[in-house]
Amino acid sequence: LSATVDEKDNILELRLLIKNISERKIAEEKLLHMAHYDELTGLPNRVLLADRLQQNMMHVQRDKQLLALVFLDIDGFKDVNDTYGHDIGDKLLMALGKKMQNILREEDTLARIGGDEFVAVLSNLPNIKSSLPLITRLLEVAAQPCLINDLSIKVSASLGISFYPQAEKIEPDQILRQADQAMYEAKISGKNRYHIFNTEQDNFIRERFENIQRLHQALIANQFVLHYQPKVNMRTGDVIGVEALIRWDHPQKGLVQPNDFLPLIEEHPLSIALGEWVMRSALEQLQHWQSIGVKVPISINISALQLLSSNFISQFEKLLLEFPKVNPSFIEVEVLETSKLEDLTKASKVINHCNKLGIHFSIDDFGTGYSSLTYLKQLAVTYIKIDQSFVRDMLEDPNDLAILEGVIKLSDAFQMQVIAEGVETIEHGRTLLQLGCELAQGYVIARPMPADAFPDWLTTWQPDSSWTTQRIFTDDEAKILFATVEHSAWIANLDAYLKGKINNFESINVSECSFGKWLDTKGDSYFTSFEVSASVRALHDRIHNLVEELLALNRKVKDKEIVQGIKALYALHDEFIKEIALDT
């Protein structure tokens, strides 16, 4: 507004200038909206979420109500992007955001804070229980199929929940971190579920997170190394391969064993990244060895998580192109049996694809985890690896020996080869050969060694002479082998019971003893003479009778007689073992 005046300041004319600023206002409002709302979904972003969370915390504190902060991550979203492209992925996020927004109350807030992560603030709750129907509904909605460009896409969500107020004063960003940690627990527990933050577990979770971060930094800093443990045919002496075993070359602690760090990243994406590093390092070593004339296959360990990841095959093929001189038939993949293969059909397809490339597979640590006969039926694996826990105690524990024999027969039935892990003594090797298992690895053969030490070991390795001449036992000879282990374990348990080291001991009547039953039916025909058969039977009876006498003395608290009786029992047992000694 301006005016024209005369000499006496009388207004002669008024001029009004009007300017249209609607475009500027629209631009300002647009910028304000962009600063507070997610461009893709139109939901509040991290900035607006922080403001609303702060306001809601004040309100529930004043009104003596509860607030639930729900951290939501979409399960399998990466697979959607990899399979259908980012455009479909974006449309899926928009659809999911709209569906979840529709089920929330007016006072609630749903925000997208990045990627496939959403956060819901559920306010004015009278108690924790009142939040569960809404949380369950969020899970259900996220798991419903979405129709995108005529494609029916189904995902799920993992939810982490933290409540406010808490016993101690807490800031908004801490509540968000708590819910994030709880979401991670929901992920590793199987996905498509929710997990409520537990304050008591906070220190453990925080420590685990920090350990994972340290391992991630160690991977970036190239602090991991591979050592190699030979696998051999004990009878022929042939080296059939080496297993690549990871170690952490820690700057302060030195060489850290895998059991001290691998469990920290189980079911975590970092385990896949570390697995890919192992694959690349093993192929690089294989190519180097082949260039110097060392032609030995290398086996690498992978988890079910890595095997079933969407890019496992493409990553493997990419590595094979990176190392063109490596013969794929020299690569073996050991799938850890302690990790559950949730999708056997997919696992079978992956293994079959790799088999066509020439890559072999084995089931590692067989008998300790999730596998069943279905694994052996559906998966085209070449080897079954018997876990070392069964091998280590097979000479003292008849149950472990029975498991070993069962797995060996099972592998024969499925036309697979069996490898025994944890062979630590010459006697371990002999017993395995007697049962029909020729392939093994363990400390008595060689400890895991650095790559540069393997060629020298290879030139000096020789199997024990007793292995090269060992024959496979007949069924009757195997029965006697079991008798020696069974009776040794039985007497050792009796000794421990009488000395008060264990609370229970099962007495076995001579007629109920498995060896006694065999002796009654096949003993006379097996032993070379009637005299030997009679002697074995007499010794067997005396052992059982002496056990009953010692149990009776124990009830009468005859300590001195018990000590003498135990000595006599061991001497009698040694005589029994000598009498039934096998011609090996």
Show me where the domains of the chain are located: 40-197, 224-466, 476-579
CB 208 within 8 A of CB 148: no
Give pLDDT, residue 247. 97
pLDDT (tens digit, 0 to 9) for every residue of the chain, 584 residues total?
676 777 777 776 777 766 666 666 665 666 666 688 999 999 999 999 999 999 999 999 999 999 999 999 999 999 999 999 999 999 999 999 999 999 999 999 999 999 999 999 999 999 988 898 899 999 999 999 999 998 999 999 999 999 999 878 889 999 999 999 899 989 988 899 999 987 666 666 677 788 899 999 999 999 999 999 999 999 999 999 999 999 999 999 999 999 999 988 887 889 999 999 999 999 999 999 999 999 999 999 998 889 988 899 999 999 999 999 999 999 999 987 555 676 788 889 999 999 999 999 998 878 665 556 777 888 899 999 988 888 999 988 988 999 899 999 988 888 999 999 999 999 999 999 999 999 999 999 999 999 999 999 999 999 999 999 999 998 888 888 888 888 888 899 999 988 888 888 888 877 778 888 888 888 888 887 888 888 888 999 999 999 999 988 888 877 788 888 889 999 998 888 888 876 55
Residue 98 burial by CB count (10 A; 0-12/13-18/19+): exposed, middle or buried? middle
Give pLDDT, residue 198. 78
Residue 550: how many other CB atoms lie within 10 Å: 23
- The number of CA neighbours under 13 Å toward the Cβ of 361 is 25
**pTM given for the model:** 0.67
Give pLDDT, residue 30. 67
- Please report, for residues 111, 331, 364, 532, the alpha-carbon distance to residue 300 in angstroms, rounded to integers and kept in the order given: 43, 8, 10, 51
Q: Which parts of 85-131 fold into alpha helices (H)?
A: 86-103
The two structure tokens encoding residue 229: 């443990």
Q: Rounded to whole angstroms, how far apart are CA atoms 518 and 530? A: 16
Q: How far apart are the first and last CA of the chain?
A: 117
Q: Rounded to whole angstroms, how far apart are CA atoms 116 and 322? A: 32
Give pLDDT, residue 193. 94
CATH superfamily assigned to domain 40-197: Reverse transcriptase/Diguanylate cyclase domain (3.30.70.270)
Give pLDDT, residue 203. 65
Q: What are phi and psi of 352, to 5 degrees?
A: -60, -40
Q: Calculate the dihedral angle through the C-alpha atoms of 505, 511, 513, 519, rounding to the nearest 10 degrees.
A: 150
Determine the topology of domain 224-466 in CATH. Answer: TIM Barrel (3.20.20)
Q: What are phi and psi of 163, to 5 degrees?
A: -110, 155
Query: At 284, which amino acid appears?
Result: E
Determine the topology of domain 476-579 in CATH. Answer: Four Helix Bundle (Hemerythrin (Met), subunit A) (1.20.120)
Give pLDDT, residue 584. 52
Give pLDDT, residue 33. 62
Give pLDDT, residue 125. 93
Question: Which residues lie across from 366 on neighbouring strands?
Answer: 386
The two structure tokens encoding residue 161: 């929940």
* Angle between helices 559-579 and 530-555 in degrees, nearest 10: 160
Q: Rounded to whole angstroms, how far apart are CA atoms 188 and 552? A: 54
- The number of CA neighbours under 13 Å toward the Cβ of 560 is 0
Q: Give the DSSP H/E element, type plus range, for residue 121.
A: strand 117-125
Q: Rounded to whole angstroms, how far apart are CA atoms 379 and 371? A: 11
Question: Which residues lie across from 383 on neighbouring strands?
Answer: 362, 417
Pairing, β 194-196 against β 156-164: parallel
